[in-house]
Structure formats: structure tokens, C-alpha cells
Amino acid sequence: MNAPRTTARQAHNSDWLDHAIRAGLVAYGVVHLLVGWLALQLAFGEKEDSASNSGALHYLAQQPLGGFLVWMIAVGMLFLVVWRLLEFGFGYRDESDDKKRWRKRATSLGKAVIYGAIGWSAVQVATGSGGGGGTDSTTAKIMNLPGGQLMVGAIGLAIIGYGVSLVVRGWTEKFREHLDAQGQAGQDGSAYVLMGKVGYIAKGVAIAIVGGLFCYAAITHDAKKSGGLDQALQTVLEQPFGPVLLTAIAIGIAAYGVFCFARAKHLSR
């Protein structure tokens, strides 16, 4: 009975998992660089693809060797899902406070879902089976359920909360814990920390806007008011000084991608 559990614990502490995590973080960084590039194109009125994770994958698929690279991202996301699930099941054992331990494990589970969603999107793009629906159609289905309007509002508040947590993590530089000592030292370390700070804050702002769209959809009972990252960035673009603000967010999202590369090189977990 304990053999599978023991094997999973060993896997969680193994060197091969470190290599898998590094590969996954590189893939995650590539996705963010592409999203940042598409958002920058949107800011300058030259957008052809959706400035979202799915749009980034479609953009990558159109490049030379794009299909192969999209599959590599799918595999990388799978590695990150495995990592977070092992973390959920066996991580944070040195945390003395049970509430903190389970809160951290719940966060790991949530990240596994996010990575899984990106990985599934990559598989759909690679196999040509993507399309259909969209965020607003999914929201509409939820809205039609009993208490659906409240559920959509709750989802929006949860997304806003996650976005705010990223902003706080970036502002307080709590993300430093993801880098080993070498990754925080010297000029390179200072650059990594700067990339992380800018990246976490920009990504948090973008995600909070997505949550705001969900809340607005719940208040107006109009599923079409909700949307993903692409619609959130469109909303930014429509504001006063929108292109300037969107350019800053695009650079920030790309900076988060660079930080993912630094984290892969100087992994601390």
C-alpha cells in the first residue's frame, strides 16, 4: 500500500524531476514571450493572432518547425503538471503550520490546472483540433446554471485575487525564493530580479483585468462581456493612453518569460 506513495515521494525529490521542471519552465517562458510579442503588435495596431496563450501557440505553429515546437511546449507543460501534482501530494512537509501547508498545496494544484490548460491547448493546436466555443460561450453555459450568475462573479473575484497576489509577489520580490543564491547575485542576479518584478506585476495586472471582465459579465448578466487575456488587453487598448499602457504590459509579460528562463537556470524548489 505504501510502495506507490514512497515512489511518488522519491520522484518528487529526484534529480530527473529538476531537469523536467527546467524544460517545462523554458516552454512556459516561450509562451509568455510570444504573448508579449502579440500584445505589442496589438498595441501598434499590427495584430493578426490573438494575444493569449492559445493565440501564441497558433502563432508558433505557423513558424518553421512550428508543429514540433508546439508539441515540445505540450510536453513541457506536462512536466510542470507532474511537478505541481507531486508538490500537491507530497510537498511542503517541512511546513509546521497545517493551514499554510494545505494552502500552499492548494496553490500547487491550481497551478497544475493552469499548466494543464496550456498543455491541452498546445495539443489541440498541434493536432488541428482547436477552435469552437471560447470564453464567452463557456461563461454562458455557467450563467445558465442555477446560481450561475453568482458562480461567474465568484470566478471573477477569484481571478482578480490571483492577479493581485501576483502583483504583491512582484512588488515585494517574494519570487526571489524561486532562484538559488547564484541566481540572485551580481549583475545577472539583479537583472533576473528586475525581470521578475516587472513580469509578475504586469502579468498580475493583466489577469486582474480578466477577472474584472468576468465580474462585469456577472453584474450585467451578459456572458459576452467576459473574456480571456486577449479581450482584457483589448480593454486596456481602448483606455486613454491605451497603446502606451498596453506596450508596458506587453513588455512586462515578455519580462516574465525571461524570468522563467532564469528560473530554469537557477532553479530553487
How many domains does the structure of the chain reveal?
2
Which range, of 111-120, 124-133, 187-196, 230-239, averages the lowest pLDDT?
124-133
Q: Is 120 in the same domain as 139? A: no
Q: Is 112 in the same domain as 93? A: yes
Q: Is 24 in the same domain as 61? A: yes
Query: What's the confidence (pLDDT) of residue 173?
Result: 95
Query: pLDDT by residue (tens digit) across 94-113?
Result: 777 778 888 888 989 999 99
Query: What's the confidence (pLDDT) of residue 157?
Result: 94
Q: Is 151 in the same domain as 269? A: yes
Q: Is 120 in the same domain as 144? A: no
- 133-146 burial, b at 16+ Cβ within 10 Å, e below that, comes to ebbbeebbebbeee
**In this structure, what DSSP letter does residue 63 have?**
S
In angstroms, what is the C-alpha Rg of the chain?
Answer: 19
Tell me the average pLDDT of the chain: 87
Query: pLDDT by residue (tens digit) across 67-82?
Result: 899 999 999 999 999 9
Q: Is 127 in the same domain as 139? A: no
Q: Is 107 in the same domain as 119? A: yes
Q: Is 92 in the same domain as 215? A: no
Q: Which domain holds residue 203?
A: 134-269
Query: What's the confidence (pLDDT) of residue 44?
Result: 87
Nearest to 122 by CA among 64, 82, 72: 72
Angstrom distance (rounded) from CA 189 to CA 90 = 30
Q: Is 156 in the same domain as 83? A: no
**Domain closes at, from 80, 108, 131:** 131
Q: Is 116 in the same domain as 185? A: no
**In this structure, what DSSP letter does residue 222 have?**
-
